[in-house]
Each structure stands twice: as structure tokens, then as C-alpha cells.
């Protein structure tokens, strides 16, 4: 295949959850195995899929002395993150996307209380209709088991968007109930029963005269450590209203202090107080309507708190209501960097601070290349001008493709908008581009998904360095996956040609196997739901060898604004058997000798037949010498370089780079020439 045969740099929780084998390859879903850091704080489970709306609730659900995290959301599910760290250094790892195993309502707001005084935490949540659902914990303090008791707890109905919380507001040793609602008020239900047999009676629909306009979300906390409960109310505008308790624990009196306590999120603030770092004061976690989990550390004291935001996403990468993911080695260090686009038209950039074998991502900016288009976008990278650096293409909600050429270098990219409507392309709405050399002629062809579920094919009738895209068909391979399509390519069966995967509106991935050849593809539907994957809505898949082991791993963006990661856990061979003498993975060795004069040897290994390029570059990314540019069979190869350029002229002493590239694989190493 051509060196440009595929551009797969264009995406989970930790368990033994394996997808069915696909031609000898098997994928394991993981949420937390690749480190990601946002600002000053690690993201605990970065690839857990995100939240369209986040309503956090805290409970020590396994009775191990630290807090665990539950998150309610827009889809009527409650996700569970177990704290696998410690009291002072928590690590919330996704254990279940839906702890109840069912979806109840649309927008759920959970809270916990030991309502029957049996020593474990019971689960309650409000819904968009204004009711309270009660799931009794019939397990134990260390092993929870929630069973539905009623969907209409005490027949409570506050009209809409109920947000319950329990607290002993009158210091009589039983739990009282407060319920926020869509009108902005607080409903107070006093417990006139006992701790073991509660009996809630409505006492006020306008507790403390509170009115925050819309979507009140109450929480109580003794913020000034004076022994009584103060009141905090999140609301539609993103503020948190603070009412200080100036009374006593037995007779509370709430005095309004501010409508902008400590924080301001975009919309629908959902506060939760707890001592996250175990330093004796209360920290603050705030969910919002785009799925963020904003963490504010109390850098003051327990009596005089002062809150400093450490991160806006404590547990999961989340960029809003729609996320498309792509990867590229943007700084030519042989390690893939990570990019997320969001529905507000920006691209988030996470640089790989690790290595090609052990990635570790650090957030750099949420405004990569200064792109801000105010609509949903889908970016991908491709070296369209064959100058050894990645160029950027951005699909738009308008159906057009924007082309940003990299006018920098492979090491220091700089993107300039060249064309805001590449090749006059218009696919209707929701353009999702992907590049692949589908006819093996050495240049990249263009495929575009769109809102009607088809795939448009633009053949490149130009060259590798000068593209010329011509529409060949708007129904490539007669594909129709429904209301949305997101194509990507990978040689999943390792037969030397490109297979096609298409994400759809329902969060699934359609797999089309190439039954033809690299030069004459024949894409046939093999599975309508590849690997039984379902990421919710709007799946946007991309394959990339993230751990440099010679096989393709899978990243999937979705409508909730997050990303799923599936690691390819099988060998790169089609079967478990290995032909004697044939390498198992692609490998590029360090040259020997190094430093050298006048000659050095570079060795590499191929597990299958591939088109291979091995090129020497200087530190500016400029090509110096092409050592290999040919199709080669599987095996071990050695190539000598005598310190000359393509014109057979001696090159100067210094550090050079040698880059091995095959379809879906690229690796760079350094060598030193001393004359």
C-alpha cells in the first residue's frame, strides 16, 4: 500500500469487559489507564464518556472511610465512580455508567441518606416531572444493592425538576427533606416521624423565602464551622446562592449573603460539599449543564473558607453536548497528541507528555489554532501537501470543510486558513471528514459523513503534494446508517487493505470489510454494531496505535461531549499463531553505531507486507535523504546511511531524525553524525 494509504491520526472503564474478537483482534474498554491532566489536577477517569448534564452526589458507599462519587445526568442514568485512592488523595474510577441498570426519567438529581437507620446509604433522586424516586439499599454498608421501593416517595410532586436533599435541620436526630424545583423555590418537608420510621409532611413551599428564579438545587453544609447547617442553592444561571444560618442548630434562621458564592459556572449549577483532600475543611464540587465537574479546593480554613478552582473536569473529559476526537503527532516527537472538538466550534488540545509507548496527556488549550466557529465541528489531520507536517481540516455543521494549512514545521506547527470551503464541498449538514488512500495511488482521497447517514466520496485526481478533489459519489458503497454518519478507516483484518467504520446517530459503529484489494476496494457490510459498542448518541470513531504496539486502538466521541477508549488487546497477527521468522509488530531500532562517521545502519521490522518509507530529516523537518520508498514483504530489514543527501552530497555534522512510516504507523528516532 502507499505510504499515504490511511490517515488514522484523525474517539471505559477499567474492567475485564472485552468486545468480541474481530479478525483476531479484541478490544477492552478502559476509562482511566491513560493519564490525562487538566490544568493542575489529574482527570480521574478521562475516557468515561462524559455527561450531558452533571449532578454530583457524594457517599461513602463501600464503608472504607473515603468518599465515592455518583453523577446523575440528562439520560436518566446515574454513573458510579468508586474512590480507589485514599481520603487525602482520592481517585474516582468509573465502575458503572448506570448503577441502577435502567433509565428513569430524563434529568436525574441523586442524593443519599440512611433513611431507615440500618447503617447503609439509601438512594433518592429527583426527576424532570418533580417526583422523588426511592431505592432502598438492601445490601450492606460495604456492598450496596439498590432496590426500587417507590417512584413517588411520600407522593411528593413539586411540579418539575425536583432536586432533593436530606438534613437534620432542627437537630432532633431525624432527617428532614428539602426539594428544589424548576420555579426556583425550596420545598420543606419536616420529618414528624422517627429516625427508623420517617413521616414527611409539607411545611413550606417557600422555605426561608428562597426564590432563585429557575431550577433551584439546594445543598446544606456547615461552611463556617459554627455547628449549624448553612444553605447553598445552585440555579439555572450558574450562580450559587448562599444563606448563612445565623440561628442555632435547633432553631435555624437563614440570612441571605450572596447570589454568587465562590463560583460561577455556565448554567444549572449543582453544588456538593465534602472534604475532598481530608484537610479538615469543606471543598466544593459543582456540576453544570454541559457535563463539567468543577472542583474548587478550599485554600482557606474551616472557619474562613476561600475557594480556588483547580479544574473544571475532575473525573471525565467533557467538552459539551457533542465531541469529535482526533489524534496527530503535532510536534513530531513520535507520540500521538489528542484533540477534541465541541459543539461550540472550538478544538481542545492535549499534548502527549509521555512517549509513543506510554502516552500521558496534558491539557494545553481549548482554543487550538484560534478556531472558534460557534457551531459543531469535526476536525481531522492529514499531510495533504506532502511536506511532512500535518494539515488541519474541519468539518462544519454547514456541510462545508475548512482547510487550515500547516505553514510551520513538523516540530512547530502554525495553521493558516487557506480555504473556508474546500473544493466547494457541501454535503448538507454536519460534515465529518476522513482521509484515506483508497485506491493506493499515493495520494489521499476524501470521505465525508453527514446528517442523512451517507458517505460522500471525493477522489483525489491530483498528486500527493497537490490535491484535486472531485466528487465521485454521494452514496459511497451504498452506505446509509440513518440520521448521522462519521466515517474512519483502518486495516482491521490485517490483509493490507483499508476497512471502513461508520459511526451513527444511535452511538453504534457499522463495520464494512474490504473484500477487494488496496487498488480496487469492495466494501461490504460485515456488522451493523461493531463489537456491540453503544456510546449513547452520535458516535464518532477513530483508530490509532496509541501504545505503539503495532495494532489499532479505538477512540469514540459522542453526543454527551466525552470520549470512550477501547484498547486493542490482541496480537497484531490475524491468528494467534505466528509464522516462524516473521516479526509480531512493527519495530524501528536505534541506529548503530551512534554517533557515527562515515556510515551507520538502521534496522526495522515488518509483521506484514506494507509500503514503507524511511527518510532522514534535519531538525527543521526538511527532508535530507530518502533511504526507502517501496512496498516490502514481512521481515527484518537493514539500511545503511553514509551521511549524504538525495543529491549524494555530504551533509554537515549534527543531529538528524530518521522516520519510518507505513500505513497506520509512524516512528521517529534521532541519530548523530560526527565528521
**Angle made by CA atoms 498, 503, 508, in degrees to the nearest 5:** 120
pLDDT (0 to 100) of residue 23? 54
Kindly tell me the burial class for residue 280, based on how many C-beta atoms sit within 10 Å of its own C-beta (0-12, 13-18, 19 or more): exposed
C-alpha 347/C-alpha 381 separation (Å) is 12
On the question of pLDDT at 478 being above 90, the answer is yes
Per-residue pLDDT of 26-76, as tens digits, reads 889 999 999 999 988 999 999 999 998 999 999 999 999 999 999 998 888
Per-residue pLDDT of 92-117, as tens digits, reads 999 999 999 877 777 899 999 999 99
CB atoms within 10 A of CB 106: 14
Kindly tell me the burial class for residue 279, based on how many C-beta atoms sit within 10 Å of its own C-beta (0-12, 13-18, 19 or more): middle
Length of the chain: 675
Q: Which of 56-65, 328-337, 468-477 has the lowest mean pLDDT?
A: 328-337
What number is the average pLDDT over the span 198-227?
96
On the question of pLDDT at 16 being above 50, the answer is no
pLDDT (0 to 100) of residue 569? 82
On the question of pLDDT at 579 being above 90, the answer is no
pLDDT (0 to 100) of residue 578? 45
DSSP at 669: E
What number is the average pLDDT over the span 438-461?
96
Percent of the chain with pLDDT over 90: 77
pLDDT (0 to 100) of residue 34? 97
Per-residue pLDDT of 233-261, as tens digits, reads 999 999 999 999 999 999 999 999 999 99
Amino acid at each position: 500500500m502507499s505510504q499515504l494509504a490511511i490517515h488514522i491520526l484523525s474517539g471505559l472503564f477499567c474492567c475485564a469487559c472485552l468486545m468480541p474478537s474481530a479478525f483476531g483482534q479484541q478490544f477492552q474498554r478502559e476509562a482511566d489507564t491513560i493519564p490525562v491532566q487538566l490544568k493542575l489536577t489529574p482527570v480521574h477517569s478521562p475516557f468515561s464518556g462524559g455527561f450531558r448534564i452533571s449532578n454530583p452526589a457524594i457517599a461513602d458507599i463501600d464503608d472504607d472511610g473515603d468518599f465515592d462519587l455518583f453523577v446523575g445526568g440528562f439520560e436518566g442514568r446515574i454513573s458510579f465512580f468508586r474512590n480507589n485512592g485514599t481520603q487525602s488523595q482520592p481517585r474516582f474510577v468509573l465502575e458503572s455508567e448506570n448503577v441502577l441498570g435502567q433509565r428513569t426519567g430524563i434529568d436525574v438529581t441523586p442524593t443519599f441518606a440512611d433513611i431507615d437507620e440500618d447503617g447503609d446509604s439509601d438512594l433518592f433522586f429527583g426527576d424532570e416531572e418533580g417526583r422523588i424516586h426511592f431505592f432502598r439499599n438492601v445490601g450492606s454498608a460495604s456492598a450496596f444493592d439498590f432496590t426500587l421501593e417507590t417512584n413517588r416517595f411520600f407522593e411528593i410532586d413539586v411540579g418539575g425538576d425536583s432536586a432533593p436533599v436530606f438534613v437534620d435541620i432542627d437537630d432532633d436526630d431525624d432527617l428532614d427533606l428539602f426539594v428544589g424545583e424548576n420555579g426556583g423555590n425550596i420545598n420543606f418537608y419536616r420529618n414528624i416521624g422517627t429516625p427508623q420510621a420517617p413521616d414527611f409532611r409539607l411545611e413550606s413551599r417557600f422555605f426561608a423565602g428562597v426564590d432563585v428564579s429557575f431550577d433551584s438545587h439546594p445543598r446544606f453544609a456547615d461552611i463556617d464551622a459554627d455547628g449549624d447547617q448553612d444553605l447553598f442553592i445552585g440555579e439555572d444561571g450558574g450562580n450559587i446562592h448562599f444563606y448563612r444560618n445565623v440561628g442555632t442548630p435547633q432553631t435555624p434562621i437563614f440570612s441571605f449573603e450572596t447570589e454568587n458564592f465562590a463560583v460561577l459556572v455556565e448554567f444549572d449549577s449543582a453544588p456538593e460539599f465534602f472534604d475532598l483532600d481530608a484537610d479538615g475543611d469543606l471543598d466544593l464540587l459543582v456540576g453544570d449543564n454541559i457535563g463539567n465537574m468543577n472542583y474548587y479546593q478550599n485554600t482557606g480554613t474551616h472557619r474562613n473558607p476561600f475557594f480556588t478552582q483547580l479544574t473544571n473536569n475532575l473525573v471525565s473529559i467533557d467538552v459539551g453536548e457533542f465531541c469529535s476526537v482526533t489524534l496527530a503527532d503535532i510536534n513530531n516527537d513520535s507520540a500521538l497528541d489528542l484533540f477534541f472538538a465541541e459543539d461550540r466550534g472550538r478544538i481542545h488540545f492535549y499534548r502527549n507528555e509521555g512517549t509513543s509507548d506510554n502516552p500521558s496527556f496534558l491539557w494545553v488549550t481549548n482554543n487550538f489554532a484560534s478556531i472558534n466557529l460557534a457551531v459543531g465541528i469535526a476536525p481531522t489531520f492529514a499531510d495533504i501537501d506532502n511536506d511532512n507536517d500535518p494539515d488541519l481540516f474541519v468539518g462544519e455543521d454547514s456541510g462545508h470543510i475548512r482547510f487550515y494549512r500547516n505553514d510551520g514545521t513538523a516540530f512547530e506547527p502554525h495553521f493558516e486558513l487557506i480555504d473556508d470551503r474546500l473544493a466547494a464541498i457541501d454535503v448538507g449538514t454536519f460534515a465529518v471528514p476522513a482521509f484515506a488512500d483508497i485506491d493506493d495511488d499515493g495520494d489521499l482521497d476524501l470521505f465525508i459523513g453527514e446528517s442523512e447517514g451517507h458517505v460522500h466520496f471525493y477522489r483525489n485526481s491530483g498528486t500527493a503534494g497537490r490535491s484535486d478533489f472531485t466528487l465521485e459519489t454521494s452514496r459511497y458503497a451504498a452506505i446509509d446508517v440513518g440520521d448521522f454518519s462519521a466515517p474512519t478507516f483502518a486495516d482491521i483484518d490485517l490483509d493490507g487493505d483499508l476497512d471502513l467504520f461508520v459511526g451513527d446517530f444511535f452511538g453504534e459503529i457499522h463495520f464494512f470489510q474490504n473484500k477487494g484489494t488496496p487498488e480496487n476496494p469492495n466494501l461490504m457490510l460485515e456488522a451493523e454494531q461493531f463489537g456491540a459498542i453503544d456510546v449513547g448518541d452520535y458516535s464518532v470513531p477513530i483508530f490509532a496505535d496509541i501504545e505503539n504496539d503495532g495494532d489499532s486502538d479505538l477512540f469514540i466521541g459522542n453526543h454527551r461531549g466525552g470520549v470512550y477508549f477501547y484498547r486493542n488487546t490482541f496480537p497484531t497477527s490475524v491468528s494467534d499463531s505466528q509464522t516462524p521468522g516473521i516479526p509480531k509488530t512493527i519495530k524501528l531500532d536505534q541506529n548503530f553505531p551512534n554517533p557515527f562517521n562515515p556510515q551507520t545502519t538502521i534496522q526495522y521490522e515488518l509483521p506484514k507486507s506494507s509500503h514503507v518509507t524511511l527518510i532522514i530529516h534535519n531538525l527543521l523537518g526538511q527532508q535530507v535523504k530518502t533511504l526507502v520508498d517501496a512496498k516490502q514483504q514481512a521481515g527484518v530489514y537493514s539500511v545503511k546511511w553514509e551521511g549524504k543527501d538525495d543529491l549524494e552530497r555530504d551533509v554537515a555534522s549534527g543531529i538528524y531524525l530518521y522516520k519510518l512510516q507505513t500505513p497506520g504507523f509512524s516512528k521517529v528516532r534521532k541519530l548523530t553524525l560526527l565528521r
